[in-house]
Homo-oligomer: A and B are copies of this chain.
Amino acid sequence: MKKFTSVKDVADVNALVTEALVLKRNPLGYKETGRNKTLGLIFLNPSLRTRLSTQKAAVNLGMDVMVMNIDKEGWALETLDGVIMNGTSVEHIREAAGVMGQYFDIMGLRSFPNLKNRDEDYREDILNKFIHYSDLPVISLESGTLHPLQSLADLITIEELKTAKKPKVVLTWAPHVKPLPQAVPNSFAEWMSVADVELVIAHPKGYDLDPAYTSGATITNNQDEALQDADFIYVKNWSSYQPYGQILTQDPGWMLTEERLKNTNSGKVMHCLPVRRDLELGADILDGPNSLVLQQAANRVWAAQVVLKKMLETNFPIPS
């Protein structure tokens, strides 16, 4: 595995989930796999779960970790070519990524979309240029369009708790006060499409996701209908894909509550966090027995660890 930016970078998703669960039972069993290898974690945007879980995963594998919050500790990067750099950008991504390629063995990169220009965000310029100019194995820590470590952790969580062979999984839009990226729902839909689940996506009119990620899913604007007999309910806000980056409604009727869980199959409730209580998701659910949010967060470690392990084994095999 040279990069981990999408489910498409994974040869065998089932095998990856299985191996993650093996690591969960034996976190320190591969302390030599990453010995004397350096993971650079580069954040162009803030992070809590992703930073801590990935750092912990790397340490479990014996790696050295260097964290850099470019936005806070560093400086503005220029991403466009052909620009005379006489403005506020201090360094070009070609040099910044190239330099990191000299210091790291594997890079993790977080770069949010700006939600202004859809083509720009969906081209994944920043992520792709970091991959290209660093010439390193790169793990996305959430990019403009996808959040694969989160989705892998979500799939691990579903795999651990499912009772049906092919559970019904509902991704349902939730209200929010700020326009949020589509990365988490895109990514969740993409990963569910290759998993052995029935995926239903429910959202208000106008919130259709990029169809590139939702193939195989049933899409509806009727949340009640979607929730019927659901085994897992993934709650998440996103801004509209078209028109891009807009808040079209804040209808509180879309907030999931205990009451609405009644027609589900004792549905387990998921959210990637951070979550706005009583805005996106009822506090009653978050504090109740159906919430999986902390288990999802815990599984971020095993998602990151199995991906790092694969990358280490592929790119830096230990001589036998």
Binding site for B on A (CB under 8 A): 28, 36, 38, 40, 43, 46-49, 51-53, 55-56, 59, 64, 66, 68-70, 72-75, 78, 81-87, 90-92, 94-96, 98-103, 177, 273-279, 283, 286-287, 293-294, 297-298, 301
Task: Indicate how many identical chains form the complex.
Answer: 3
Known: A59-B64, A75-B46, A84-B279. A91 touches B274 (CB 8 A): yes
User: A51 to B74, alpha carbons, bound, how many Å?
Assistant: 10
Indicate which residue in B36, B87, B276 contacts A28 across the interface (CB closer than 8 Å): B36
Nearest B residue to A59, CB-CB: B64
Interface centre among A38, A72, A86 (most CB of B within 10 A): A86
DSSP majority for the A interface? mixed
The 4 closest A-B pairs by CB, nearest first: A91-B274, A102-B298, A85-B276, A99-B297
Query: What's the nearest-Cβ distance from chain B to residue A287, in Å?
Result: 7
Nearest B residue to A52, CB-CB: B103
Indicate which residue in B38, B55, B72, B78 contacts A59 across the interface (CB closer than 8 Å): B38
Provide the residues of chain B in CB contact with A98, threshold 8 Å: 293-294, 297
Nearest B residue to A297, CB-CB: B99
User: A96 to B227, alpha carbons, bound, how many Å?
Assistant: 28
Interface centre among A47, A85, A98, A177 (most CB of B within 10 A): A85
